[in-house]
Structure 1
Amino acid sequence: MPRRTATMLASTLMLIALLCAGVFINVPYSEMSPGPTVNTLGDHDGEPVLQISGRKTYATSGHLNMTTVRVTSADYRMNLVEAVYGWLAHDNKVVPHDTLYPDGKTEEQSTQENAEEFSQSQESAKVAALKELDVPVKSWVIASTVVKGSPAEGRLHAGDVIKAVDGTTVKQPSDVAELVTKHKPGQDVVFTIVPAKEQAAAEKENRTATRTQKVTITTKASDDEGEKRAIVGISAGTDHTFPFTIDIKLADVGGPSAGLMFALGIYDKLTPGSLTGGTFVAGTGTIDDAGKVGPIGGIEMKTVGARAKGARYFLTPADNCAAAASDTPAGLTLVKVNTIDDALTALKDIRGGDTADLPECTTK
């Protein structure tokens, strides 16, 4: 066999061997790619995304699209060939597995956490939108989660309204941790609560829950490194009562990143005229009850997905601007927003055609 032919054959066999090895070698990475984008003003799977009853609504036009990211599952084992392909592909992003699933989080745990964050983002979106419209919303502090095996298990329950801790009135979720950590581990703390069932019954009957009870819990030491804090094993959150019904119908979506776009969609439906003026606007960002917009993950994937569907403008959390601007899809303008007010101002300029002074994202 001629030397040249032998060399080419050996090289080919080596390449085949490397490719085969690459298929069987697993690497600790996961992949992100652009996911579906849904118009919050429109329908999804045959029904309106935003359904409002008990309050006058108005016709809307254009798009206010929320955006998503697809990720490989927690138990998916990426091989070397897939990782290399993902690194080379422009529209995909390969990241360390622990970035998406820290501390060995399972698929079930991740799904549950994303569902909880999605639910909370919907509540905050409603509150933020109604505050912009000066519509009063009743709010109170609740035990949002109770850790299994903690001192609070069986003593407090998710949805219990926390009125006071050690006799001190609770006004916001952070008050709970502040009052509990005034104790030393092993000391008792007294919660004044309205049980979740009583609160639910009161809401159903459109009355104020008045029956309270005191619950005494013995604190334990936290697992923090260094100085230990007193804890009882709950996370405090906020619940609300709205003066009319706002339902958000969107299955198979998780996480908090659609908050801003839901808030804008609700605002648009409750006000005359069109926020977009018929323009295709997409965006992302968490939102809190006060209307502050927070950063999200996978911004590069979301801008790609939005532009592919036809978006011309993308409302971008200020903290994500630099990453988004480093690789902006052609034809898409990234608009920096810190609050819902910023987004509403930008939309006013967009529908009016006055876009020269939009606060665009930069890489700095």
Structure 2
Amino acid sequence: MADYSSIPSPCFVLEETRFRKNLQLIADISKAADVEFILAFKAFSMWSAFPIVREYVKGATASSVFEAQLCFEEMKSLAHTYSPVYSEKDMDKILEYSSHITFNSVEQAKRFMPKVNSADHKISCGLRVNPEYSEVETALYNPCSPGSRLGVTADQLKNGLPDEIEGLHFHALCESNSFDLKNTLNALEMRFGHLFGQIKWINMGGGHLVSHKDYDTNHLIETLKDFNARTGLKVIMEPGSAFAWETGFLKTTVEDIVENKGIKTAIIDASFTCHMPDCLEMPYKPKIRGAYHEPVKGKPTYRIGGNSCLAGDFMGDWSFDKPLTIGDTLIFEDMIHYTMVKTTMFNGVPHPSIGIIHNNDNFELIRTFNYQDFKSRLS
């Protein structure tokens, strides 16, 4: 077992053994269903781990010019790029680093198609569509809510697809299962099935949590094979969370314990709003190793507070077998996906270090952050 005492605090730690297990599962599904899986950088952009990723999948999806460049440099491949909007100043670089470009609107497709056609390599273009169906309950993550800016609705395509569009893209899932996907595909085919004969590929976006212990991978494979048999379209899937689901943790340290109106708060050297923003956005309560996820009567119970000055920078409550003391280590589980990609330096709070526990249980410190990292983001 790795020596956790050698890991600095705070620190995001990827566990290679768990990571490879997810990657192998994704590779197996890809082969069985004859679909292409690519990594979504918006959930996981820890490029020091990309050499491991490349052993199992070859591509990635980018949501911006910077992500597209990262794909080219570190995944060693051209990106499948989608952005809600492209700007003139970014498009030349996006063309340079992309094999596929998906447009969010018909207007953007028409505006930039001449540039695409003048690129020095073949780029396949797609259009994001809105199936107007989603089983995502959290409004913040539902791209099919009324008035959504994401994707073209069927009534906007009464005259067919723009010239040179070769694919359709939809993204309507979030940590969802294969039955949610099947229902979404039914809605998609009902609204856009008449256009399938005009395209070569379909990108089913992300939100496919195939590495969750309760995910029915056999049902997913059957669903995808049935879709392919009916349509003949190449299927691309781009989950992010599934790659890094339960593959690492955030190590933190208790720095103080305060009490107000009977509520004891253990303040750690990390921040929910700065380092674990999805906990507050989703919201969800993360697991702490060795703690009771819900308060247990008679056991020491604490709210956990972050080290920023935001009043709402806390979560709670957890119970422990013994009272917490200053200097205790708290390990937040499953803190690799949608963490590092969303972190901020609000308040000038130091960013957690980044490391990997390799298959041999040796810990490698990949990156630390200092004052210059904070200062260089400002002017």
Shared fold (TM-score, shorter chain, > 0.5)? no
TM-score range (shorter-chain normalised) is: under 0.3
Provide TM-score, normalisation by structure 1. 0.27
- Which has the higher Rg, Structure 1 or Structure 2? 1
